[in-house]
């Protein structure tokens, strides 16, 4: 499995640390209540198929990436910087 980092180019999976569903980017308001926080921290769609998750380019540029990939085939469609998403 190889991931194309927008900064470093195509790199081996070993350079990246997997964090989990990209849902982690949508942090609820501190006062949002137990249900919202439970959903954010623990509950997952856990899709079999196309998904977006967070990877950290630990042995490369040190950027956080949103990787668009397929959990059934392991195909990787692309990756974008978390930072770029938050800008728009």
Partner 1 sequence: MRFSGLRVLREGLTGNKGWVPHWRDPEPKSEYDIVIIGGGGHGLATAYYLAREHGLTNIAVLEKGYLGGGNVGRNTTIVRANYFLPGNSEFYSHSLKLWEGLEHELNYNVMHSQRGLINLFHSDGQRDAFARRGNAMINQGDDAILLDREGVREHLPYLNFDSGRFPIHGGLYHPRGGTARHDAVAWGYARGADSRGVDLIQNCEVTGIDTEGGRVTGVQTTRGAIKAKKVGIVVAGRSGQVAAMAGMRLPIESHVLQAFVTEGLKPCIDHVVSFGMGHFYISQSDKGGLVFGGDLDMYASYAQRGNLPLTEHVMEAAMTLMPMIGKAKVRRSWGGIMDMTPDGSPIIDRTGIEGLYIDCGWCYGGFKAVPGSGFAFAHLIAQDRPHDSAARFRLDRFRDGVGLMDEEGTGAQHNLH
Positions touching partner 1 (CB under 8 A) are 1, 12-14, 18-21, 34-35, 38-39, 41-49, 51, 53, 71-74
SS3 state of residue 15: helix
- Report d(CA 48, CA 74) in Å as an integer: 11
Least CB distance from residue 88 to Zn ion, whole Å? 20
- With CB cut-offs between 5 and 8 Å by kind, which of Zn ion, partner 1, none does residue 60 bind? Zn ion
Q: Tell me, what DSSP letter sits at residue 30?
A: T
Least CB distance from residue 55 to Zn ion, whole Å? 10
How many residues belong to the chain?
88
């Amino acid at each position: 499995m190889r991931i194309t980092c927008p900064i470093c180019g195509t790199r081996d999976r070993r350079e990246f640390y997997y964090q989990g569903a990209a849902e982690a980017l949508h942090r609820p308001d501190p006062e949002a209540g137990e249900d919202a926080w439970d959903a954010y921290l623990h509950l997952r769609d856990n899709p079999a198929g196309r998904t977006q998750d967070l990877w950290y380019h630990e042995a490369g540029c040190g950027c956080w990436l949103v990787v668009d990939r397929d959990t059934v085939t392991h195909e990787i469609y692309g990756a974008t910087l978390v930072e770029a998403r938050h800008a728009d």
